[in-house]
Structure formats: C-alpha cells, structure tokens
Homo-oligomer: A and B are copies of this chain.
Amino acid sequence: MTTTNGSAVPRRAGIADVARLAGVSVGTVSNVLNRPDRVTEKTRSRVQAAIEELSFVRNASARQLRQGRNRTVGAIVLDITNPFFTEVVRGVEDRLAEDEYTLMLGSSDEDTVREERLLRRFEEQGVHGLLVTPSHTGIETLLRMRERGVTVVLLDRSSPVPDMASVAVDDVRGAVLAVAHLLEQGHERIAFLNGPLTIRQCVDRREGVLRALADAGRDPESLVEVTVESLNADHGARAMRDLLDGDAGATATFCVNDFTALGALRTLRERGLRCPQDMALVGYDDVSFAAELATPLTSVRQPTHEMGWRAADLLLTSAEPEQVLYQPELVVRASSGG
C-alpha cells in the first residue's frame, strides 16, 4: 500500500506536510528554512504560517545526514561536579551559544572505560568537534579521531604534539608560585598532597614543586609527599590525617587542589590545629568559596571561564591547531600566613 497521502496518524509534522499545507514544494520549504532570501516574501510568510500551524520542528538527524556536518560539540571533563570544570564548561557553553552550537557533556571520572565510551558515542553522534580533558587515554585515540574528521581541542592539558590544539594553563608555574611563596614565608619542611601521577596536572604540579625547591636551593628530599586517590575533600582530609600521623615535621602543605585543601582544613580543625600557625596551607584553583572559608585559603587562580570560551573558540574558528597556555596567578590569603 503506497502512502500517497491519506489521513496520516497524528505523527510529527515533516517538511512535506508543511509544503502541502502551504501549497508549495518541499524544496521551497527548505529554502525558507535555509536561504530565506531566495524566496518571495509572500511565499515565505505562507510557509511560515504553515510551520506555525503544524508546529513543525526540523529533524536534525535528517539534516545532518544530508549535510554531513553537525552543530554539536562534545566536551569530556574529569568531573562536572568540580567547580573548576564547571566554570570551564560554562565558558564553553557561552562560546557555543554565540554560534548556535549545542553542547554534549560527559564526565569521565578519570575512568578510561567511561572516557572511551563517551568518545565513541560523541563521535557516533557526529559531533563537529570535541573538547577533551584526557585522563589516561593516550593522545593516540584522539589523533585517530581527528583523522576521521573530528576537530579536537585538548582542555586543561597542553598538547604533546604540535598539530593538535589545546588550551591549558601552566601548571608547573602554578606550583612554583605556590611553593616559592611558602618558602618565602620561612617554611623549611613542606608537604605536598598530590593526586595520582596518572593525571597530568599532578605530574606538572609536582614538577613545579620540585623546581621551586631546587630554585631555593633546598634538598628535594625535604619534601613530604602524600598521595590522594581522588581530588576531593574526603580524600584530602584523610591525607592530612596520614600526614599528621606520619609526624614528618612539615609546617606547610601545598594541596593539589582546593577541595583537597578543604579536606585538609577539616582535619586540622578536628585535631585542634590552627592554620596557618600550626600548618600553613595553599590550594589550587581558587574556587569561589576559597576566600570565605574558616581560614581564607591561599590558592592558585586559573582563568577558567576564559579557558573554556577560548577552547570552544579554537574549535569553531581556528584553521591551524593553536596551543594556548595561560599563566596562573597566586592569590595570597590567610591560610599561608601571608
């Protein structure tokens, strides 16, 4: 049975329905939608009326299939719950909105499986491009995706290869600022609550810590390193407990991020220790509430919103893969005795 026309089921209206109602061809409707200038004012308004009438909504799948491209961008961050990423994502969103692009979002949780699944799914969706904070995924997967036509911009991670775009912030420098500051305050023995070295930031910040020590002529052995599994407050609290129990004699602690520092602060309070007198603290990220904590937290600020905005901008406009490296800034507050 050929569906010549017939009284159709109450299905979603298509371009053909609009054409029929407006008494024009589908081609004309398509023109109204995509190149309104090529259509007479009169025809256009008639078509528009039909569109309203049927509350027609374009089918992006069909459109994309035909056009090949897509107005969607995928972003994969480590954890959307982390304010750092939240602000970056907001920057991304704001830039995408300017060009009417849609954001698809996923948190990888630093989990390779989850990350690769997201990558695959986004690619299937035919995203125009991808903004990724790779956790463990080698760059290879991303390079391969690029070969298949997906623009990739690394987020919060500088590219190891010259032909891939990236927007990052100099983490080594950030850590140098933090530790140099603590050394200037006269601290002799510094602890570093760091995350797993599978995370680039952790590696870089560690390098910065060591560099600051070296620059000041200190013995790298004087550094007390404690590893947290995950960069959140609970693990930070636990790490600070371990540190104190270890009795390593540190008088200042540099935390790999503010959440870790938040946890550390909690432990100090629980143990009745004062910050900065008994233990100075420096965090990283300068999250919104850093200034409002029980002890306002010294932290390293990064231009989060700007980073996201820029990354999306590179994705949408840049022909040549560009590598942007922002410089962090130390914000001194009470927790470091400044």
Using CB atoms and an 8 Å cutoff, list the residues of chain A in contact with chain B: 12, 55, 57-65, 70-72, 79-81, 83, 86-87, 89-90, 93, 97, 100, 102-107, 114, 117-118, 120-126, 144, 148-149, 233, 259, 262, 265-266, 287-289, 291-296
Contact in complex: B81, A12 (CB < 8 Å): no
Contact in complex: B105, A59 (CB < 8 Å): no
Contact in complex: B57, A120 (CB < 8 Å): yes
Contact in complex: A93, B114 (CB < 8 Å): no
| Chain B residues near A100 (CB-CB < 8 A) | 117, 121
Contact in complex: B294, A296 (CB < 8 Å): yes
| 17 more CB-based (< 8 A) A-B contacts, given A57-B120, A83-B83, A266-B291 | A57-B123, A58-B124, A61-B61, A61-B125, A79-B90, A80-B80, A81-B86, A81-B90, A90-B107, A93-B106, A102-B122, A105-B105, A233-B292, A262-B288, A292-B293, A292-B294, A294-B295
Q: Which residue of B lies closest to A265 (CB)?
A: B292
For the complex, what is the distance from the CA of A226 to the CA of B106, rounded to whole Å? 38
Identify which of B125, B293, B294 contacts A60 (C-beta below 8 A).
B125
Identify which of B63, B105, B125, B293 contacts A289 (C-beta below 8 A).
B293
Contact in complex: A57, B124 (CB < 8 Å): yes
What distance in Å separates the Cβ of A143 from its nearest Cβ neighbour in chain B? 11
11 intermolecular pairs with C-beta atoms under 8 Å apart: A59-B126, A60-B61, A61-B64, A61-B70, A80-B89, A81-B90, A90-B107, A93-B106, A102-B118, A103-B106, A289-B289
Contact in complex: A57, B148 (CB < 8 Å): yes
Interface-centre pick from A55, A97, A266 (highest chain B CB count, 10 A): A97
Contact in complex: A59, B289 (CB < 8 Å): no
Q: Which residue of B lies closest to A93 (CB)?
A: B107
For the complex, what is the distance from the CA of A293 to the CA of B59, rounded to whole Å? 49
| Chain B residues near A59 (CB-CB < 8 A) | 65, 124, 126
Contact in complex: B70, A81 (CB < 8 Å): no
Identify which of B102, B233, B265 contacts A106 (C-beta below 8 A).
B102
| Chain B residues near A289 (CB-CB < 8 A) | 262, 287, 289, 292-293
What distance in Å separates the Cβ of A291 from its nearest Cβ neighbour in chain B? 8
| Chain B residues near A93 (CB-CB < 8 A) | 80, 105-107
Contact in complex: A104, B103 (CB < 8 Å): yes
Contact in complex: B80, A148 (CB < 8 Å): no
Q: Which residue of B lies closest to A58 (CB)?
A: B124
A144 and B55 in contact (CB under 8 A), knowing A65-B62, A121-B100? yes
